[in-house]
Amino acid sequence: MNDTALPRIGFMGLGIMGAPMAGHLQAAGHPLTIANRSRGPRVQALLDAGARWADSPAALAAESDIVITILGFPQDVEQVWLGADGLLAGARPGTVLVDMTTSSPRLAMRLAEDAAQKGCAALDAPVSGGEPGARNAALSIMAGGEADAFARALPVFQRMGKAIRHMGGPGKGQHTKMANQITIASTVMGVAEGLSYARRAGLDGEAVVAALAPGAAGSFQLTSLGPKMLAGDFAPGFMVKHFLKDLGIAVAEAEAMGLALPGLGQARRLFERVAEELGGEAGTQAVFSAYQGG
């Protein structure tokens, strides 16, 4: 396909996940314009491969047919999208703007409303799969927003992920991601507890993972993070500080619904302890450390 037939992509947020995601789009032939707070090696690699640099979110949006952001926190999303020099200030009518940050469902609904007032469309499309999923173009993408906008963005999503679903209107992608994070929270605690028990019982941890993985206890958390827990490898695939952000959003949304989720509350307390003891940039598998004393 000729490059000119592909939508021009603007991408902002070129961190541990965003950089490989943008790289897949660039490799597929999409004209790529990028913006980021810093210009480290990940950014430079994209520029060296032909990406254009934008000095502001507004300039990024002005050059793009589809804009993608994957940022750290909801306040970052709000600033980048709605600031005086933000995406919506520069976006042309007809632009599709996609936020792939795990963020607030209520903010996603606000962004969709503000985008519609500019003649644009907004999708909330958070992802699951962490750095390996981003690197291998194997992310799970859960999108909320108007069906027509999702249809326009779908070929772009297919360059970055394998399991892609339209979950409903604005905010529904973020609500789906909250369900994902709540599920992970208790699952990763269960893996840490099971392997802590196995270690205390004098079992070979790697043999335990191999024995459990094919059975009912098998999970991504067990097979991917279990060996790292046992090895004391807490390097991040997904940082504790970002997971705590997600859990905070989930707690607030559950409370607003009048829904009690005790496992979520316990996970949040444990990860807060990990952040205090090991720092927020440890990987989520570092929750294993909370079970190793006493």
Catalytically active residues are 177
| Alpha-helical regions (H) of the chain | 18-27, 41-48, 57-62, 74-82, 87-90, 105-117, 130-135, 147-157, 172-200, 205-212, 220, 226-231, 240-257, 262-278
Buried b (16+ CB within 10 A) or exposed e, 55-87: ebbbbbbbbbbbbbbbbbbbebbbebbbeeebb
DSSP symbol at 286: G
Q: Tell me, what amino acid is at 231?
A: A
| Alpha-helical regions (H) of 56-102 | 57-62, 74-82, 87-90
Cα–Cα distance between 125 and 44 in angstroms, integer?
A: 26
Residue whose tokens read 């632009």:
95
Contacts with 232 (C-beta within 8 Å, 6 or more apart), sequence order: none
Cα–Cα distance between 28 and 162 in angstroms, integer?
A: 15
Cα–Cα distance between 267 and 28 in angstroms, integer?
A: 39
Cα–Cα distance between 180 and 35 in angstroms, integer?
A: 29
Query: DSSP string of 54-66?
Result: -SSHHHHHHT-SE
Nearest CA among 95, 92, 90, 94 for reference residue 59: 90
Exposed/middle/buried for residue 272 (C-beta within 10 Å: 0-12, 13-18, 19+): middle
